[in-house]
A and B are shown apart, each in its own frame.
Chain A
Amino acid sequence: GEKVEQHESTLSVREGDSAVINCTYTDTASSYFPWYKQEAGKGLHFVIDIRSNVDRKQSQRLIVLLDKKAKRFSLHITATQPEDSAIYFCAARMPNYNVLYFGSGTKLTVEP
């Protein structure tokens, strides 16, 4: 099955700087890549996704890049704010199959 590796287990940035979280996947058939945010004691909250028919997607301060050749995707958070501090999970999914395979999570700390 699909395996997703999330490269940064922790990341610390200063408020206003950009944060980048990188993930790789193994199955070339994977076609959908969502990102989730988890705050302490809470469930996963969807933040942004990208499908394999595009290589870049932006939603306000969030940018997702997808490199299908390298089987790599990344989340860029620009102009970080303290409320961005949380654990971020990347995931991958194959077409016609709903199950998400998650990375191990990145704890992002935005320091004022």
Chain B
Amino acid sequence: NAGVIQTPRHKVTGKGQEATLWCEPISGHSAVFWYRQTIVQGLEFLTYFRNQAPIDDSGMPKERFSAQMPNQSHSTLKIQSTQPQDSAVYLCASSLPYWGASYEQYFGPGTRLTVL
């Protein structure tokens, strides 16, 4: 079990460029979550999928952020026209469904995005 895999680990973009972050959940986990971590705001929920379907994106900035889960093995978070305030560590987590044997969310190592 390799755990949740996130790539790249570090990404530097110029203001206005696009950034795509990748997450590979643990095999068999049907829930995938994206969180953002900054010094100022702490850990914030962005969006989550269950069985590849988007369930809740209430934490996503509406205009430039989008997330997809095209298959069971990966999810992407895309940020268009990146701004310096998007600089953060983006964490992906996966879990069994809440009705499953374990509620635990397993986190990946994160992608540190720096927007210059």
List residues of chain A with CB within 8 A of the CB of B48. 98-99
B108 within 8 A of A: yes
Q: Is the CB of A34 within 8 A of B42?
A: no
A91 to B33, CA, bound (A): 15
- State which of A44, A101, A104 has its C-beta within 8 Å of the C-beta of B107: A44
Residues of B within 8 A of A49 (CB): 103-104
The B71-116 residues at the A interface (CB cut-off 8 A) are 91, 93, 95, 97-98, 103-110
Distance (whole angstroms) from the CB of B76 to the closest CB of chain A: 18
Is the Cβ of A46 less than 8 Å from the Cβ of B106? yes
Contact status A45-B104, CB under 8 Å: no
Q: Interface of chain B, helix or strand or loop or mixed?
A: strand
Contact across chains for B109 and A42 when beta carbons are under 8 A apart: yes
Chain A residue nearest to B3 (CB atoms) is: A43
B31 → A minimal CB distance (Å): 6
Is A93 touching B103 in the complex (CB atoms < 8 A)? yes
Contact between A96 and B98, CB atoms less than 8 A apart:
yes
Interface readout for A86-112 with B: 1 if CB under 8 Å, 0 if not? 000100010111111111110000000
23 contacts across the A-B interface (CB closer than 8 A): A32-B103, A34-B103, A34-B104, A42-B109, A43-B4, A43-B91, A43-B107, A43-B109, A44-B93, A44-B107, A46-B104, A46-B105, A46-B107, A95-B98, A97-B98, A98-B48, A98-B97, A98-B98, A99-B48, A99-B56, A102-B35, A102-B42, A105-B42
- Give residues in B with beta carbon < 8 Å to A: 4, 6, 31, 33, 35, 42-43, 45, 48, 50, 55-56, 91, 93, 95, 97-98, 103-110
